[in-house]
Amino acid sequence: MKQKLKERLDVFSDAIIAILITIMVLELPVEIHGQSVHYVQLFHAVGIYLVSFCFIANLWYQHAVIFNEAKTVPNQIVVLDLSFLFLMSLMPTFTRLMTEATTQVTVLMYGGLSLVISLLFRRIAKTIIHEKYTDKKDMRKVYNVIYGASYLESGLLYLAIMVVGYFWPRVALVLYIIMPIRS
Amino acid sequence: MKQKLKERLDVFSDAIIAILITIMVLELPVEIHGQSVHYVQLFHAVGIYLVSFCFIANLWYQHAVIFNEAKTVPNQIVVLDLSFLFLMSLMPTFTRLMTEATTQVTVLMYGGLSLVISLLFRRIAKTIIHEKYTDKKDMRKVYNVIYGASYLESGLLYLAIMVVGYFWPRVALVLYIIMPIRS
Amino acid sequence: MKQKLKERLDVFSDAIIAILITIMVLELPVEIHGQSVHYVQLFHAVGIYLVSFCFIANLWYQHAVIFNEAKTVPNQIVVLDLSFLFLMSLMPTFTRLMTEATTQVTVLMYGGLSLVISLLFRRIAKTIIHEKYTDKKDMRKVYNVIYGASYLESGLLYLAIMVVGYFWPRVALVLYIIMPIRS
Amino acid sequence: MKQKLKERLDVFSDAIIAILITIMVLELPVEIHGQSVHYVQLFHAVGIYLVSFCFIANLWYQHAVIFNEAKTVPNQIVVLDLSFLFLMSLMPTFTRLMTEATTQVTVLMYGGLSLVISLLFRRIAKTIIHEKYTDKKDMRKVYNVIYGASYLESGLLYLAIMVVGYFWPRVALVLYIIMPIRS
């Protein structure tokens, strides 16, 4: 019974993430004036879509790997996972906000949301791994699969970009875009 | 054959609930005037989205737990479950209605819908549990997993809020918001 | 390998049907003028949504039952099933068309689409059942699970309603609504 | 653990493809002026929808067949598959672009996207098949299931249509439409 609940949570979160990743396509602007299309605007939007796609696809992958470690999900994990999905579903809106009006406030808000999602995911990963493994070496191995080598850095990086964004919002925008593409 | 139908009903309802929960993000208003964003409106909408997310996520969880009890689904359950999904799919529209125009009528309508969904879900739960268990003690145990301790209260609570809403619509709005978050 | 393809076709069609059934909610009109909501229009739309929901949910159920009979899907079934999904995805648009402008043409178009979907589904059901069973008695038993007793009638009924719709479009609209609700 | 990841990637890509195929219905234009519907425009849009439906449904089928060959997915395949999904999610936008403004640029862009998706899919197919089979005869058999007999042609065909499209954009539009329907 417990295992079935875990499988349903998997399907449920995969479905939500798949929907989130595709509804962003609906927001691509296709403006046609007579026979000429507004290409600059379109490719700018495709670029932003690519960034959000990479960010969410990356989270989906890490999420799938970590939940494969778990056989059952205690109530605490269910609540954490649903909160994670809620925050993730705000991602498209915040990305659009930042790119349409690149100001101090929007850049800090986007950075803050990324950081909170990132921290929440780490707590989920930690809870699942600590329940399963007792040996420190095994834990590290799983972490490596999920984050690659750059485990600790990325949290610090988000903080660093937020500091940058406070002074130069446009520089932070470019840095945000580079981060998920690299991984 | 019967068991496969049950699995497909699970996937089908999970997919519908996942879609319902995410299409609400599309309705978040992102209005930008020059470089300033309408933040009060945006965070008000995010708050409403959070409430609907909690309500639906909670129903999904209870729904998943109760259907894990069943091995096969008789026709009666299929019909009840599809009705349940239909009413649930009206939830986002009614929430939006209530928060955009907080009047006696909209608050009573929202309360009525919540109550009907809640009662319908209880009938589904009862049908499934009574088919499986004959011992009263086992039944109570399953009920506790689904509703926590506050099994009977919540039905009465919805009725109470509806009475409040008849006289003070705005108070009821706040109460509705608190209810699903608590659980 | 063949069996896995069948399972994926199941998931794929369940997902498409689930999406079709829920995107119709997005089209519910919520117009608010100051504090008063346009209730007549809203409940009219909810009624239409209920009809389409019943129609599609009914097709999903029949579809799930018939595909549970099959263990593998030959290419012919895959093509037929995808055509079936294509026609079904036009259903919401045609329903909306008919209810917004109830004329001879729209009523006949809706009736025609329903008839074609219905005939296509029968051909899928027939192909699957004839591949599995050789005894006529077994075949009839499966047909009864899917269509109930009224197997042959409903095809004739759609034709009859179309004749009615040619002379009195509004009467046909009501008849269409009654049909899927009855089953 | 590796096998579970593969199953989740299957569900995830099936969900994304199912969503892509159905959100296009939302873009069907239903314009009503009094009691008369703009039929020419509607059926033109339904035709375009049919083309995109065939193209994506065809890719889904090939995708499902090839992934049934694989038991586990190495990281390389995950990345390739996610890129494939990203490019495919641009398909509806590019189709709409081409049909709304049939110019040299849009026709070449659509052809280019089709070609890149097609090449990317071949690379995925090749990677999976080369990992599993060592005998050349077995490989050819799998390729035949996916592409039919016309394996090599279709790549050349896309290139040929692009050359045609450079001189006569409207002819290329018709050719694009014929291609996926044939298969």
Nearest residue of A to residue D74 by CA position? Answer: A145
- Strand D32-33 vs strand A32-33: parallel, antiparallel, or unpaired? unpaired
State residue C149's pLDDT score: 46
Cα–Cα distances (Å) from B15 to A7, C13, C17, C54, in that order, read 13, 11, 9, 17
What is the DSSP secondary structure assignment for residue C149, as one 8-state letter? S
Give D106-122 pLDDT, tens digit per residue.
777 877 888 888 888 88
Give the pair of three-digit tokens for residue C15: 């997902």
The alpha carbon of residue A120 and the mean position of all alpha carbons in its chain are separated, in whole angstroms, by 11
Contact by Cβ (8 Å): D90, D55: no
Would the CB atoms of D22 and C23 count as touching at under 8 Å?
Answer: yes
Top-confidence residue, C114 or D102: C114
State residue D157's pLDDT score: 62
**Cβ-based contacts of C17 with chain B (< 8 Å):** 12
- Which of D1, D20, D90 shows the shortest C-beta gap to A68? D1
| Token pair 């690299």 in the structure block, residue | A182
Top-confidence residue, C158 or C63: C63
State residue A178's pLDDT score: 62
Cα–Cα distances (Å) from D27 to A132, B30, C133, D42, D111, in that order, read 48, 21, 43, 10, 22
Spell C58-81 as b/e; 16+ CB within 10 A means b: ebbbbbbbbbbbbeebeeebbebb
The residue of A24, A30, A58 whose CB has the most chain D CBs within 10 angstroms, and thus the best one to mutate to test that interface, is: A30
Closest to C176 (Cα-Cα) out of C97, C123, C121: C97
Give C137-153 pLDDT, tens digit per residue.
777 776 666 665 454 55
Best-predicted range by mean pLDDT (A146-160, B87-101, C54-68, D45-59)? C54-68
Best-predicted range by mean pLDDT (A84-98, A101-115, C31-45)? A84-98
- Beta-carbon neighbour count of residue B96 at 10 Å? 20
B33 beta partners: B36
Q: Rounded CA gap, D52 and D24, in Å?
A: 9
Cα–Cα distances (Å) from C155 to C50, C124, C152, D90, in that order, read 22, 15, 6, 40
Please tell me the distance in Å from B115's CA to the nearest CA on chain C.
18
Q: Rounded CA gap, B183 and B23, in Å?
A: 23
State residue B151's pLDDT score: 47
DSSP labels for C109-130? HHHHHHHHHHHHHHHHHHHHHH
Residues 6 or more apart in contact with residue C49 via CB below 8 angstroms: C24, C25, C28
Give the pair of three-digit tokens for residue B182: 């608590």
State residue B26's pLDDT score: 73
Q: Rounded CA gap, A90 and A99, in Å?
A: 15
Q: Rounded CA gap, D16 and B115, in Å?
A: 34
- Which of A5, A89, A100 shows the shortest C-beta gap to B25? A89
Residues 6 or more apart in contact with residue B82 via CB below 8 angstroms: C53, C57, C61
Confidence of residue A61 (pLDDT cuts 50, 70, 90): confident
Would the CB atoms of D18 and C23 count as touching at under 8 Å?
Answer: no
The residue of A3, A14, A129, A145 whose CB has the most chain D CBs within 10 angstroms, and thus the best one to mutate to test that interface, is: A14
Top-confidence residue, B18 or D144: B18
Q: Rounded CA gap, C95 and A62, in Å?
A: 42
Q: Which residues of B touch A (CB under 8 A)?
A: 10-11, 14-15, 17-19, 21-23, 25-26, 28, 30, 32, 35-37, 39, 46, 50, 53, 57, 60-61, 64-65, 68-69
- Beta-carbon neighbour count of residue B14 at 10 Å? 24
State residue A159's pLDDT score: 64
Instruction: Give the angle subtended at the CA of A56 by the CAs of A160 and A95, to the nearest 5°.
Output: 60
State residue C151's pLDDT score: 47
Cα–Cα distances (Å) from C142 to A180, C54, C67, C125, D104, in that order, read 52, 22, 11, 10, 55
Give B120-162 pLDDT, tens digit per residue.
888 888 888 887 777 777 777 766 666 654 545 555 666 666 6
Q: Indicate the SS3 state at residue C37.
A: strand
Would the CB atoms of A100 and B19 count as touching at under 8 Å?
Answer: no
Which of A16-30, B13-27, B153-167, C12-26 shows the lowest mean pLDDT across its residues? B153-167
Which of B153-162, C9-18, C53-62, C124-133 shows the lowest mean pLDDT across its residues? B153-162
State residue B128's pLDDT score: 84
Spell D63-92 as b/e; 16+ CB within 10 A means b: bbbbbbbbeebeeebbebbbbbbbbbbbbb
Best-predicted range by mean pLDDT (A105-119, A154-168, B73-87, C27-41)? B73-87
Q: Rounded CA gap, D84 and A57, in Å?
A: 12
Domain ranges of chain C: 2-182
Residue D21 has pLDDT above 50, yes or no: yes
What is the residue-level pLDDT of chain B in tens, covering all 183 positions?
A: 567 788 888 888 988 999 888 887 776 666 666 666 677 777 777 877 787 788 788 888 888 888 887 777 787 888 888 889 999 888 888 877 776 766 777 777 887 888 888 888 888 888 888 877 777 777 777 666 666 545 455 556 666 666 666 666 666 666 666 655 554
What is the DSSP secondary structure assignment for residue C35, as one 8-state letter? T
Contact by Cβ (8 Å): B137, C71: no
Please tell me the distance in Å from A19's CA to the nearest CA on chain B.
7
Top-confidence residue, D35 or D115: D115
ipTM score for this prediction: 0.79
Residue A174 has pLDDT above 50, yes or no: yes
The predicted model gives C145-168 an average pLDDT of 60
The answer to whether the Cα torsion of A95, A101, A107, A113 is positive or negative is negative
Instruction: Give the angle subtended at the CA of C55 by the CAs of D16 and C95, to the nearest 5°.
Output: 85
Nearest residue of A to residue B55 by CA position? Answer: A82
Backbone angles phi, psi at D82, to 5 degrees: -65, -40
